[in-house]
Structure 1
């Protein structure tokens, strides 16, 4: 069973072409630096512990944290979250499979009431498509966590 992310895979071909063309030299330089740094450390770009897998994990976890922040209505460690009816309740490990990065173990945040319904990686979803391309695009653009959340929303 293969599931796709509607917000990612339903992008019109024209928009994808425009996005590729609109990358600035600064964004390309950021990706170039990531690749150079990984190679300098002796890391592979793909494979079990490659750069693509690490970036995929980081982007998914950041997006999930931003979704939790939106769900609860306050930032992590914010004072308004203390003694609130619902709050963060740790994380749980989940393994998802992506076409380019393979299996990626991510930490999915939980809330005390159990009402958090993630969007980027839905409950019981194990296979992600098109996420790898989005991961490279987001890191190339140097997006903040808020911008990453908005992109996936």
Structure 2
């Protein structure tokens, strides 16, 4: 998938086109990826950040901005909320398409079948299987309770 070269290319384009807001967001993405790189090096890993790691970073960044936008709206700061939403749009360009509810439901069903899960104690296996296949394509915060309902 090679997300990092796509981000680097978008960064160069934003510089050339003098897109200040977009450039700022792309720099934040790069900084988060480099932070993870440094953390991995500290743990003794020479591989660097994988595409799955980048997807997790981007997903976390989107979630943070959604929460911030909500907080700004509640505080009456619509200008700041709008800026957060604009950053979300830039970040989501590098995330794969999100699965629909039906696709998520089918993915949960197949993960349960694959892992042979039959009780709530097997929830970790199911979530692990889903995360290995669908990182960045579904919100695991909402998927968790769905898996729990299926197994419980």
Same fold (TM over 0.5): no
Q: TM-score, normalised by structure 1?
A: 0.29
Higher strand proportion (structure 1 or 2) = 1
Q: TM-score, normalised by structure 2?
A: 0.29
Tell which has more relative contact order, 1 or 2 (C-alpha 8 A, sep 6+): 1
Higher helix proportion (structure 1 or 2) = 2
Q: Max radius of gyration: which structure?
A: 2
